[in-house]
Amino acid sequence: MKIDILTLFPESFAPFRESIISRAQKAGTIEINITNIRDFSRDKHKKCDDAPFGGGAGMLMSVQPIYDAVKSVLTKNSKVIFPTPAGKVYTSKIAQNLAKQEHLIFICGHYEGIDERLIQLFDAEELSIGDYVLTGGEIPAMVIVDSLLRFVPGVLSEGSLSEESFSNGLLEYPQYTRPQVFEGLAVPEVLVSGNHAEIAKWRKQASIEKTKKNRPDLLKGGEHED
């Protein structure tokens, strides 16, 4: 999979030089390119913002530099994504679908946003990472890229995805490691029993309990009630 990220702040993507994502890039499983939108500004001062028609507080990003930056990487198999608090709420299901795409282009917004015609012209998918407003699109783009790459075959080791939160509509069960007793708290007995059927049963029930406590909204279909 190939990912192009268009931003006014390329340095924000330094975390992609670390860990699993860096390893996947070196292995050639994924290719991530970061492009500075400002390099495409035709303004003599490389200006990249402009006032909104109709007035109001703040500035928008200028249309031309973003348009040219997208055009420079766009192919017939590209899907354009615009992270915005006004987008559809991003979920693990959307991540799995995006992971099947050949080429993703992210436009990172700043100031008060981008001209709506860019969304129309590139049929961009608007995605929100939650009901709060961040200062720019870089962190949301990083969140979306990091989470979808985990679903690209070869990025994670085999089996890592099978029991994590949201994989079966529930939150992940609690996990424990050594020592068996820590600060007076013992690991649930069943986990050291060696009885795999009982362990699986305990984990399923513990997943349901955690989901009930932290995300009751996920249970409203009734599928996991017992």
Element of type H or E holding 120:
helix 116-121
φ/ψ region of 202 (left if φ > 0, alpha if ψ in -120 to 50, else beta) reads alpha
Locate tokens 């790459």: which residue? Answer: 149
Binding segment toward ligand ADE, per CB under 6 A, in 10-18, 91-99, 133-141, 193-201 = 133-141
Looking at the Cβ atoms of 65 and 85, the one nearer to ligand ADE is 85
For ligand ADE, the binding residue among 14, 54, 57, 133 (CB under 6 A) is 133
Cα–Cα distance measured from residue 205 to residue 190, given in angstroms and rounded to the nearest whole number:
13
**Distances 163 to 120, 174, 185 between C-alpha atoms, Å:** 38, 11, 25
Shortest CB 138 distance to ligand ADE, Å? 9
Shortest CB 132 distance to ligand ADE, Å? 6
Element of type H or E holding 205:
helix 196-214
- Per DSSP, the three-state class of 189 is helix
Does the protein bind ligand ADE through residue 181 (CB under 6 A)?
no
Looking at the Cβ atoms of 53 and 132, the one nearer to ligand ADE is 132
What is the chain's percent helix, strand, coil content, to nearest 5? 35, 20, 45
Shortest CB 56 distance to ligand ADE, Å? 17
Shortest CB 181 distance to ligand ADE, Å? 42
Among residue numbers 113 through 132, which ones bind ligand ADE (CB under 6 A)? 128-130, 132
Decide: 6 and 27 in contact? Cβ < 8 Å.
no
Shortest CB 126 distance to ligand ADE, Å? 8
What string marks each residue from 67 to 96 as x (binds ligand ADE by CB under 6 A) or -?
Answer: ----------------xxx-----------
Shortest CB 195 distance to ligand ADE, Å? 44
Decide: 105 and 80 in contact? Cβ < 8 Å.
yes
Site of interaction with ligand ADE (CB under 6 A): 83-85, 128-130, 132-134, 137, 140
